[in-house]
A = this chain, B = another copy of it.
Amino acid sequence: MIVRNSGRLIARATSPRNREARRLIIQAIEAALTSVDPIRVMKNRVGLKGNVLCVEGFRLDLRRFRRVIVIGAGKATAGMASGLEEVMGRKITIGLVNTPRGAQVKSKTKKIVFHEAGHPLPDYNGVQGTREMLRLIANVDENDLVICLFSGGGSAMMPLPADGISLADERKVTAALLKAGASISEINAVRKHISRCKGGRLAELLYPAQVLTLVFSDVVDDRLDVIASGPTVPDISTFHDSIDVLKKYGIWPDVPQTVRSVLLDGANGKRRETPKPGDRVFHRVHNFILCNNRAACNAAVEQFRKSGLNSLLLTAYLEGEAREAGRFLSSMIKEVEFFGGLLSKPAAIVLGGETTVRVSGVGRGGPNQELALCACMTIQELDGVAVGSVGTDGIDGPTDAAGALVDGATVSRARRFGLDPSHYLRKNDSYSFFSRLGDLVFTGSTGTNVNDLSFAVVL
| A interface residues with partner B (beta carbon < 8 Å) | 221, 294, 312-321, 324-325, 327-328, 330-332, 334-335, 339, 341-342, 353, 378
A-B contact list, 5 entries, CB within 8 Å: A294-B339, A314-B335, A314-B342, A316-B335, A324-B325
CB distance from A297 to the nearest CB of B (A): 9
Q: Which residues of B contact A332 (CB under 8 A)?
A: 314-315, 317
Contact B320 A327 (CB under 8 A): yes
The docked-state distance in angstroms from the alpha carbon of A315 to that of B327 is 12
Q: Which residues of B contact A331 (CB under 8 A)?
A: 315, 317-320, 353
The docked-state distance in angstroms from the alpha carbon of A400 to that of B433 is 43
Q: Which residues of B contact A314 (CB under 8 A)?
A: 332, 335, 342
Q: CB within 8 A of A325: which of B294, B315, B328?
A: B328
The docked-state distance in angstroms from the alpha carbon of A318 to that of B325 is 11
Q: Which residues of B contact A341 (CB under 8 A)?
A: 313
Contact A328 B324 (CB under 8 A): yes
Q: CB within 8 A of A313: which of B321, B327, B342, B353?
A: B342
With A313-B341, A315-B335, A316-B339 known, 6 other A-B pairs at CB within 8 A are: A315-B334, A317-B332, A318-B331, A319-B331, A324-B328, A325-B328
The docked-state distance in angstroms from the alpha carbon of A221 to that of B337 is 12
Q: Which residues of B contact A321 (CB under 8 A)?
A: 321, 324
- Identity of the chain B residue whose Cβ is nearest the Cβ of A334 in the assembled complex: B317
CB distance from A437 to the nearest CB of B (A): 22
The docked-state distance in angstroms from the alpha carbon of A315 to that of B294 is 23
Contact A320 B312 (CB under 8 A): no
Q: Which residues of B contact A334 (CB under 8 A)?
A: 221, 315, 317
- Contact flag A324-B320 (CB < 8 Å), given A221-B334, A312-B342, A353-B331: yes
CB distance from A380 to the nearest CB of B (A): 12
CB distance from A35 to the nearest CB of B (A): 16
CB distance from A410 to the nearest CB of B (A): 18
The docked-state distance in angstroms from the alpha carbon of A319 to that of B326 is 11
Q: Which 6 pairs show the lowest CB-CB distances between chains A and B?
A: A324-B324, A320-B327, A317-B331, A315-B335, A317-B334, A315-B331
The docked-state distance in angstroms from the alpha carbon of A351 to that of B315 is 15
- Contact flag A328-B335 (CB < 8 Å), given A312-B342, A342-B315: no
Q: CB within 8 A of A327: which of B316, B319, B339?
A: B319
CB distance from A185 to the nearest CB of B (A): 12
- Identity of the chain B residue whose Cβ is nearest the Cβ of A378 in the assembled complex: B319
The docked-state distance in angstroms from the alpha carbon of A2 to that of B320 is 33
The docked-state distance in angstroms from the alpha carbon of A324 to that of B329 is 12
Q: Which residues of B contact A325 (CB under 8 A)?
A: 324, 328
Q: Which residues of B contact A317 (CB under 8 A)?
A: 330-332, 334-335
Q: Which residues of B contact A294 (CB under 8 A)?
A: 339
- Identity of the chain B residue whose Cβ is nearest the Cβ of A183 in the assembled complex: B422
CB distance from A118 to the nearest CB of B (A): 31
Q: Which residues of B contact A328 (CB under 8 A)?
A: 318, 320, 324-325, 328
The docked-state distance in angstroms from the alpha carbon of A341 to that of B297 is 12
The docked-state distance in angstroms from the alpha carbon of A312 to that of B335 is 12
- Identity of the chain B residue whose Cβ is nearest the Cβ of A298 in the assembled complex: B341
- Identity of the chain B residue whose Cβ is nearest the Cβ of A337 in the assembled complex: B317
The docked-state distance in angstroms from the alpha carbon of A444 to that of B320 is 32
Q: Which residues of B contact A342 (CB under 8 A)?
A: 312-315
The docked-state distance in angstroms from the alpha carbon of A378 to that of B183 is 13
Q: Which residues of B contact A319 (CB under 8 A)?
A: 327, 331, 378
Q: Which residues of B contact A353 (CB under 8 A)?
A: 331
Q: Which residues of B contact A316 (CB under 8 A)?
A: 335, 339
The docked-state distance in angstroms from the alpha carbon of A328 to that of B331 is 12
The docked-state distance in angstroms from the alpha carbon of A225 to that of B335 is 20
The docked-state distance in angstroms from the alpha carbon of A342 to that of B325 is 18
- Identity of the chain B residue whose Cβ is nearest the Cβ of A248 in the assembled complex: B420
- Identity of the chain B residue whose Cβ is nearest the Cβ of A330 in the assembled complex: B317
The docked-state distance in angstroms from the alpha carbon of A254 to that of B99 is 60
The docked-state distance in angstroms from the alpha carbon of A155 to that of B330 is 27
The docked-state distance in angstroms from the alpha carbon of A331 to that of B353 is 9
Q: Which residues of B contact A313 (CB under 8 A)?
A: 335, 341-342
Q: Which residues of B contact A221 (CB under 8 A)?
A: 334
